[in-house]
Amino acid sequence: MQCGHSCGHGCRHDREHGCGEHSEHHVLCLERVPIFAGLSREEKLEVAQISSSRSYDKGEMVYQAGDAGGTLFVLYTGKVKLFRLDADGREQVLRVIGPGEFMGELSLFSSLPLTDNALALEDSIMCVLQGERLKELMSKYPSIAFKVMDELSRRLEAAERRIEAISLHTVTRRVAGALLELSAGKNEIILPMSKRDLASQLGMSQETLSRKLTELENEGLIGLRGQRRILIKRRPELENLSRNQEF
């Protein structure tokens, strides 16, 4: 098995574990990922042979923009923020990923370096797959390639919607839409990121987001409970706001 390759991704204390004794651990990791869902256990073991485990402390960089790509990162436990920095050093949050999600996929199909940054928001464990050998397995098991392309198309669509919202929609509409998306049909939201990061993702300052959330609470549409918990009280009105340009 070839699994020990160095970090090369700007992390401060990369801790990589050999995969000989951890194949079962890696299979458990891969079973969380939709792109490998259609594989048999034997096929997943084959994928596990090209993977290794890396652990990251909270606040540690997984990789930085400009690092060499060619690696697929699958999050086993923890939470990781993907973001970019503009010329003035301002942060734009792209997304926050949780267990079972992956990142670095664009670099598998390009010789260009990584364009975003990845930061561990919690102590995290990654299953790291070697890009070149993964592409060989994609040829052998086309279902992996098709599922990667499906996920890429979903992310592209989400990115285009976010750009449209930032460019064309009012603050109220953006916030209402984000709350509905985060609620996933439920009446309680536990924010997966800080309000600062959510504001960055929505293209506004934290102060603007906090002010708008307070306005929505005063209107009786939502309830704020601590830093991360938000209650949806009047969903129809919130849905109207997410469709209208004016408050």
- Domain CATH number, residue 35: 2.60.120.10
Could you tell me if residue 164 is inside a domain?
no
Could you tell me if residue 186 is inside a domain?
yes
For the chain, percent helix, then strand, then coil, each to nearest 5?
40, 25, 35
Q: Which of 5-9, 82-86, 139-143, 211-215 has the highest mean pLDDT?
A: 211-215
Do 98 and 177 fall within a single domain?
A: no
Q: Is 203 left (phi over 0), alpha (psi -120 to 50) or beta?
A: left
Do 28 and 104 fall within a single domain?
A: yes
Q: Is the pLDDT of residue 246 over 60?
A: no
CB of 72 closer than 8 Å to CB of 131: yes
CA distance 27 to 123: 20
Q: Residue 123's pLDDT is what?
A: 96
Query: Quick one: tokens of 37?
Result: 């869902």
Do 131 and 175 fall within a single domain?
A: no
pLDDT tens profile 133-173: 888 888 888 887 887 788 778 877 777 777 777 766 789 99
The residue type of 222 is I
CB of 105 closer than 8 Å to CB of 150: no
Domain range for residue 29? 15-144
pTM: 0.69
Stretch among 24-28, 52-56, 86-90, 166-170 having the lowest mean pLDDT? 24-28
